Structure 1
Amino acid sequence: MAAVMTQTQCVSSDDTLSPGSVLKLGSPPHDAESMGLEALLKGATSVFDIAPETALLLICNNIEKLVAHFETLPASTSSYPNSNGSTPMEPQTPTEEEPPMRSVGLHCGDTEDGNGDRSEEDTFQLRMLSRKFLSKNIPPIALKDYLQRLHRYCPMSTAVLLAASVYITRMAFVEKVVRPSPKNMHRLVLAGLLVATKALEDLSFPHSRVAKVGGVSEQELSKLEVAFCFLADFDLRVDARMLMDEARIHCTGHLQLSETDFLEEKSG
């Protein structure tokens, strides 16, 4: 059951030092949004020149573009069944009811056949994992406000924010295992940031703190973390060039619409 969370509940302000906050090299101006994301990156030659606040705007912009793109596509009745998860930040948390599932062994690695198609069992497994991110209702908090809340009480580095963006984009366009929507984007971002922090930083905030700030229970957060790792096939490697490319791609307004486009942008 998710933790009941309201805007007035928060973590004390005297304990907000981030393990990766030393990477922060400055903040964008207060009128950053009116300037445009491309203007914010002007003069930045590496990911280390990008402030975390700018990276936050970039990941928010990217996820919202992903959601808008997938909303224009026909919904697949077989890929995304009815939601069963609780809603982050909702005033009253309904009891989570897990649907009946047959036993499926979790595994990672190359599970495709010679034609590049997944087996029926693998498809079922990934579908059930993707359901973990669906909320019963659209969360009442905007994604930008949600990200700012997370960053305020669990500050994150530029690398963590951009890496989470890389993971989610890859899962949506390359692996095709998630379909970003208003009902799952908050939980995808929460899990992505937690996984990216553990993958890139030497220290991370305790689950109890992240869960409270994110508006879910510790048990639910752990489930999201595990599901995210399996959906990402545990491919969490990123480097400075990949992160800088991610920043530049998502400040131009361009959205990769295929696996080929995505891979070409990353390799070019």
Structure 2
Amino acid sequence: MLLETKQIKDVVTVFHGLTAPTLTVANYIDRIFKYSACSPSCFVLAHIYIDRFLHLTHLKLTSLNVHRLLITTIMLAAKFMDDAFFNNAYYAKVGGISTSELNRLEMNFLLGVDFRLQVSVETFGRYCLHLEKEGFQIERPMQACRIKDNWSNEDDSPVAR
């Protein structure tokens, strides 16, 4: 759940901007989808990553950090899931931030989740079901699931259990 920054007192991190971007979250996701050429699975995986990061770091999702968390997690999901993906400089341009900032965000995110990007097939499926219940049309990655059969059945994702 995205909270208004005024409603909470949150620790300021590298993910926080000084002001909320004028681009809506939906439009930002559309932009990333349009220019990143990520598989739809990356967006589900990014959702899991954000939940995991927020759970482990005790941060709140706000209008000041959501955009940076999105570009970072979608980029990481593409690197983890897709065979072909763009470099950090390209994702930075798509996300409207500098390459050095995205590099810093990537490292801080990875440290925040203790470099645990692995997600079980079961957790991925639960998130797909959760998103479908919310009215999103999800393209199920059957090929990706077969490729990732060695994924663990255990992870610490706090949502969609």
Aligned to 1:133, what secondary structure does the other structure show?
coil
Aligned partner (choices 122, 143, 152) of residue 25 of structure 2:
143
Shift of 1:151: 1.1
Tell me the residue number matched to 2:8.
75
Structure 1 runs not aligned, ≥5 long: 1-65, 82-130, 254-259
Residue 88 of structure 2 corresponds to residue 207 of structure 1 = yes
Tell me the residue number matched to 1:160.
42
Shift of 1:223: 0.5
Q: Closer, same or farther in 2 for the Cα pair 1:243/1:222, shift >3 Å?
A: same
Structure 2 runs not aligned, ≥5 long: 135-155
Aligned to 1:227, what secondary structure does the other structure show?
helix
Normalising by structure 1, we get a TM-score of: 0.48
CA contact (8 A) 2:5 2:64 kept: no
Q: Deviations over 1:104-151 (max 9, x none)?
A: xxxxxxxxxxxxxxxxxxxxxxxxxxx100011100100111111111
Aligned to 1:262, what secondary structure does the other structure show?
coil
Structure that is richer in helix per residue: 2
Tell me the residue number matched to 2:63.
182
Matches within 5 A, 1:80-91: 80-81=11-12
Tell me the residue number matched to 1:14.
none
Tell me the residue number matched to 2:76.
195
Q: Distance in 1 between matches of 2:49 and 2:157?
A: 16
Higher Cα radius of gyration: 1
Aligned partner (choices 116, 119, 122) of residue 241 of structure 1:
122
Identity rate of aligned residues, in percent? 25
Residue 161 of structure 2 corresponds to residue 230 of structure 1 = no
CA contact (8 A) 1:177 1:231 kept: no
Aligned partner (choices 170, 194, 197) of residue 52 of structure 2:
170
Residue 101 of structure 2 corresponds to residue 220 of structure 1 = yes
State the 4+ residue runs in structure 1 displaced beyond 6 angstroms. none
Q: Distance in 2 between matches of 1:137 and 1:219?
A: 19
CA contact (8 A) 1:211 1:221 kept: yes
Aligned to 1:175, what secondary structure does the other structure show?
helix
Q: Distance in 1 between matches of 2:84 and 2:2?
A: 31
CA contact (8 A) 1:136 1:183 kept: yes
Shift of 1:72: 9.8
Q: Distance in 2 between matches of 1:225 and 1:176?
A: 15
Q: Distance in 1 between matches of 2:5 and 2:88?
A: 35
Q: Distance in 1 between matches of 2:157 and 2:113?
A: 19
The structure with higher relative contact order (CA 8 Å, sep 6+) is 1
